[in-house]
Chains A and B, each alone.
Chain A
Amino acid sequence: DDEVQVRQKMVAVDPQEEADFDRELRSIMQESLESRKLEIRARPTLNMMIPMNVFEGSTRDHHGRSVEGESGDETMDEEGGGGNNKDILVKVLVKRGNKQQTKQMFIPKGCSLVQSTKQKEAAELEE
């Protein structure tokens, strides 16, 4: 009930500052890429398997609460529970040490990540 309308003054970002910041950002990106390209010996072995339990019943969310999993053949879950209608629940795979963990998170429907999957699903369905 604490709605407040503040007449905001427009804050213009200083173009000089913006340009300066962009230059630094690009340089840190570039430097990051270069340093990795040079580490040829560090070619990683692939370890990208999706663990089976992701497809199975329940997973644990970050609060340790049990989250009801989706049945295996269901595709993208159009969720209304935690996010809003524009959000989609995805599973995020992370590693803690060598252990794989699955966490759940909402991402917007418009995000390219899920759009492409959707398109593919649609394409696959047509076949």
Chain B
Amino acid sequence: EETGEDENYEYGKGDFTEHACRYCGVQNPACVVRCNVPSCRKWFCNSRGNTSGSHIVNHLVRAKHKEVCLHKDSPLGETILECYNCGCRNVFLLGFISAKTESVVVLLCREPCLSVNALKDMNWDLSQWCPLIDDRCFLQWLVKIPSEQEQLRARQISAQQINKVEELWKTNPDATLEDLEKPGVDDEPQPVALKYEDAYQYQNVFAPLVKLEADYDKMMKESQSKDNVTIRWDIGLNKKRIAYFVFPKEDNELRLVPGDELRLRYSGDATHPAWQSVGHVIKLTAQEEVALELRASQGVPVDVNHGFSVDFVWKSTSFDRMQGAMKTFAVDETSVSGYIYHHLLGHEVEAQVVRNTLPRRFGAPGLPELNASQVFAVKSVLQKPISLIQGPPGTGKTVTSAAIVYHMAKQGQGQVLVCAPSNVAVDQLAEKISATGLKVVRLCAKSREAVSSPVEHLTLHYQVQHLDTSEKSELHKLQQLKDEQGELSSSDEKKYKALKRATEREISQSADVICCTCVGAGDPRLANFRFRQVLIDESTQATEPECLIPLVLGVKQVVLVGDHCQLGPVIMCKKAARAGLAQSLFERLVLLGVKPFRLQVQYRMHPSLSEFPSNSFYEGTLQNGVTINERQSSGIDFPWPVPNRPMFFYVQMGQEEISASGTSYLNRTEAANVEKIVTTFLRSGVVPSQIGVITPYEGQRAYIVNYMSRNGALRQQLYKEIEVASVDSFQGREKDYIILSCVRSNEHQGIGFLNDPRRLNVALTRARYGIVILGNPKVLSKQPLWNSLLTHYKEHECLVEGPLNNLKQSMVQFQKPKKIYN
């Protein structure tokens, strides 16, 4: 199995030490002792934390345990503390005495040994018996008190919690503090907070939310089985078998993405035995087909095409990595710097400046010149341990990020780690960084190695295959053999794996920059890597635990890039979303008072198109880096109502319907008008790849695709090449012309998906040259933001109705916006 390596890996495991204080997690061997009661054997430290006695003394008193053992790495080595004379191990009776003349000390019990008369005549000074436990903690020179830093980074346990967990241990000795906070099955999970006492509390809040989302994801994906699937067989360049088929989906279901694992099944017939195989999705075609590369090529019933079933194979990897990162964050104090640790938890930390010599120029070779706000962002970021960069649409986030990474890499602090939640964003960034001349390795999940990538030459698997040295020829030979035979003998397989791992390691280590998704940063192949400098792009689309994965590899300087005014992470489980899992780390840091550097010049939209988003989402700060002339579509003859304003709101009164599946909406007249607009664009010389149709509902999306190819006035193929998709799948991208079909037209119901201002912002900021919005103003105007959008269009004489070739201003009345509307 190819993924075997990954599956055997336990996330965050390497960081646990048995001897960590069971109360607070401190694990310095000089500071801990073990309770020596056989049924207990737990470790505790000698710090008081927020309690009156030290943790070990607290435990001994509350549990009524009396014996302890020192750690093997403590100054005295592994030693059970006992009376030198009688062997009594009750620590409440023990104390040190010293010899009268020598620098020799022993432990002696207070009763009876200290009061034995005969002792007085000996060489020992009994008058200075020095009790082991003094002022409610162990003698500090025997068991050290953790440093202030260590204590601050430990779990901040309260006396109440101690009493509770001690109570719990009486019936369940293996219980953990997490068990105290576990909610019952039907309880609402604890919501996310702005600040956390410590990383354990952080973990206590987020771990159940990640679990909820994982359970939901599993349940949903595993219920997506489809029967009666028709297969078209093919063979890939790597000689592997590929199955093509259509996998229909609904609104509330996750889209398949390349790298997903599916199981293909055939129940068998008179001439074919039952068969099944697992494979990875390698692409989704424009014809809405899924291409599945099968893992095993043998025994595939390629002469059958009908009657297959498809199941989703759910993987817990990404969730395991989030949980692992949170554990590491809590127990491994080298996971992030002290400053970042306290800052992420919302503790008040004295501002810190990163002392680096700043470059003379802030741009980077191979990249466009930076504008003033970009230079300011790069310069500021290089001097701060934590910074946020807000990049509104089209403001050159990627170029700015690449410039930052370039300068970080030149500071010689080791390799820089660059992440983003999506593969598309990682690829874009990897390409730009590579253009500066830095050595970039793009690490892909093993399941995505067959997925084509625009930066294939940067990927680790490609570089391993194409490294040209003699020792690699052995690897290549084995690879070839494996490809041809499907498997290797176990000794060859061992050799192959070892060689591959060594080569991967060698290539990764020689890179200046490693690029991967946030989840990819938890790849076992990076387990022994440390990254002091980390940049996360699109960080506002990642959940906090996801963002944590690249950070716990030793970060000292972190840059989060994103835009909290655009869409956030997608959370499928409502309970987890309600509890705040959908809030990104970027947003929480903003709430904590970290001021993002905002990039202010947009290079995408025609100035008329950027006006409303700038005023509504960015306090009017968005400046235009493009002129009206640069966005004049010369030679395109389209009936814009106001010639210099390539935008209009096309009033639609058609009724919405529930889609055939019963779970989505569609609006036939609106779809018909979308086709007319598309046709007009195509006739005027616009090519299909320039056009994007955005609609929030899967029902409408499917209907538009179908309608256009059946009823389009032009060649069918032209319509098939037009991308019709949800707002979410357009985030981070642009098109020359955007048509937005709002669908909802029911006065008594909400406007659903369009109610989120961030989604509207994304929808309005995808177009470079022109935008057409179709919708029902009577319904939409109830929502305050839509109301002001409609007013904006009306004031500019862009609210129109009538046939396309004879548009006239609409006199439709708006409704008063409601304060809260859903």
Contact = CB atoms under 8 A, between A and B. Distances in A.
Tell me, yes or no, whether A binds B. yes
Interface of A: 2-8, 11, 13-14, 17-18, 21-22, 24-25, 28-29, 32-33, 36-37, 39, 42-44, 46-48, 50, 54-55, 62-63, 70, 75-77, 87-95, 102-108, 111-117, 120-121, 124
Given A36-B112, A105-B76, A90 B349 contact: no
Given A22-B136, A48-B124, A117-B125, 7 more contacts: A8-B152, A25-B57, A39-B112, A89-B103, A113-B130, A116-B128, A120-B100
12 contacts: A4-B349, A44-B112, A46-B85, A46-B116, A50-B102, A54-B104, A91-B104, A93-B105, A94-B84, A104-B75, A120-B101, A121-B101
Contacts of B159: 13-14, 17, 21
Nearest to A97: B87
Contact of A11 (B50, B58, B60, B118): B50
A33 to B, nearest CB: 5
B141 A6 contact: no
A90 B141 CA distance: 11
Interface stretch (B88-96, B169-177, B654-662, B664-672): B88-96
Interface in B327-377: 337-339, 341-342, 347-350, 352
Contacts of B97: 113
B432 interface: no
Contact of A29 (B77, B92, B337): B92
Closest 5 CB pairs of A and B: A62-B77, A5-B350, A4-B338, A7-B348, A44-B86
Contacts of A25: 53, 57, 61, 136
A117 B116 contact: no
B149 interface: yes
A62 B352 CA distance: 41
A117 B88 contact: no
A49 to B, nearest CB: 8
B348 A54 contact: no
Given A33-B93, A103-B77, A13 B52 contact: yes
Contacts of B88: 36
A22 B100 contact: no
A7 B350 contact: yes
A2 B339 contact: yes
Interface of B: 50-53, 57-58, 60-62, 64, 66, 72, 74-77, 79, 82, 84-88, 90, 92-93, 96-107, 109-113, 116, 118-119, 122-125, 127-128, 130, 136, 141-142, 149, 152, 159-160, 337-339, 341-342, 347-350, 352, 556
A36 B105 contact: no
Best-buried of B102, B112, B118, B352 by chain A (most CB within 10 Å):
B102
B554 to A, nearest CB: 11
Best-buried of A13, A32, A112 by chain B (most CB within 10 Å):
A32
A113 B96 contact: yes
Contact of A48 (B53, B85, B112, B342): B85
Contacts of A63: 77
Contact of A21 (B51, B100, B350): B51
Nearest to B104: A91
Contact of B61 (A28, A107, A111, A124): A28
Given A50-B104, A92-B76, A108-B141, A116 B125 contact: yes
A69 to B, nearest CB: 11
A116 B111 CA distance: 22
A63 B73 CA distance: 8
Contacts of A62: 72, 74-77
A15 to B, nearest CB: 9
A18 B341 CA distance: 30
Contacts of A39: 112
A25 to B, nearest CB: 5
A101 B39 CA distance: 28
Contacts of A91: 102-105
Contacts of B100: 117, 120
A11 B337 CA distance: 24
A48 B66 contact: no
A62 B99 CA distance: 21
B533 to A, nearest CB: 14
A48 B119 contact: yes
A37 B159 CA distance: 33
A69 B101 CA distance: 16
B520 to A, nearest CB: 27
Given A4-B352, A44-B85, A46-B116, A92 B58 contact: no
Contact of B337 (A4, A8, A32, A36): A4
A63 B78 CA distance: 11
Contacts of A36: 88, 90, 93, 109, 111-112
A117 B98 contact: yes
Contacts of A117: 98-101, 103, 125
B53 A90 contact: no
Given A5-B350, A111-B141, A95 B87 contact: yes
Given A21-B159, A29-B92, A116-B125, A46 B119 contact: yes
A92 B106 CA distance: 6
Contacts of A48: 84-85, 106, 119, 122, 124
B127 to A, nearest CB: 7
Contact of A46 (B118, B352, B556): B118
A42 B58 CA distance: 29
Contact of B103 (A4, A7, A24, A77): A77
A95 B76 CA distance: 12
B118 A111 contact: no
Given A6-B348, A113-B128, A32 B339 contact: no
Contacts of A29: 92
Contact of B76 (A28, A76, A94): A94
B112 A90 contact: no
A24 B822 CA distance: 57
Contacts of B339: 2, 4
A103 B105 CA distance: 10
B158 to A, nearest CB: 9
